[in-house]
Amino acid sequence: MILRWEQGRDLVDDLLARGRFTRVTPNRELADTLLEQARKHLASGGAILAEDPTGAFTLVYDAARKALTAILVNQGLRAGGDGAHAVLLDAVLAQLDPPLGSIFRPFAWMRPLRNHTQYPAPEHPVARAEDVEEAIPAAAAMIDAAAKVIAQMPAY
């Protein structure tokens, strides 16, 4: 059994020191609930893709975000403040890349597209059906990987 997760500890410690993360009680039950919600969001996003690509993308993005959040809440870490979604990816990649970076890295392109979709402006495109079709398998892989690593990662 791993008593302390060392990979990425310097970055996570820095995020904690800067107030980008706070410590919370590690919660496997909440992590599992987040993964269950993520799976439902993913299915719902796929179901409405043809009629509502922007809504579908938002659901699929939220599925991916909840997968990352599940990993961290299981460790007792909660992101907060401006850029909280971005810092989720920073912490997950610091701790899991290698070997799982390629699975979680698509969140990096999904996040700004989700922001442009949620807060549209003429200079930024919003999500299209093609984006959702690319995001669905990426989010599914993140959910599957999160479910596997949660069992292996101890509280931070």
**Is position 112 within any domain?**
yes
Question: What's the maximum distance between 2 C-alpha atoms anywhere in the chain?
Answer: 52
How would you write the pLDDT of the chain (156 residues) with one tens digit per residue?
556 789 999 999 999 999 999 999 999 999 999 999 999 999 999 999 999 999 999 999 999 999 999 999 999 999 998 899 999 999 999 999 999 999 999 999 999 999 999 999 999 999 999 999 999 999 999 999 999 999 999 999
- What is the domain extent for residue 97? 24-150
For residue 118, the tally of other CB atoms under 10 A from its CB is 13
Beta-strand runs (E) in 7-153: 21-23, 77-79
Distance separating alpha carbons of residues 109 and 143, to the nearest angstrom: 17
Domain harbouring 94, CATH code: 1.20.120.330
Q: Supply the Cα-derived Rg of the chain in whole angstroms.
A: 15
Q: What is the pTM of this model?
A: 0.96
Number of domains comprising the chain = 1
**Is position 2 within any domain?**
no
| The token pair that represents 2 in the structure block | 């791993």
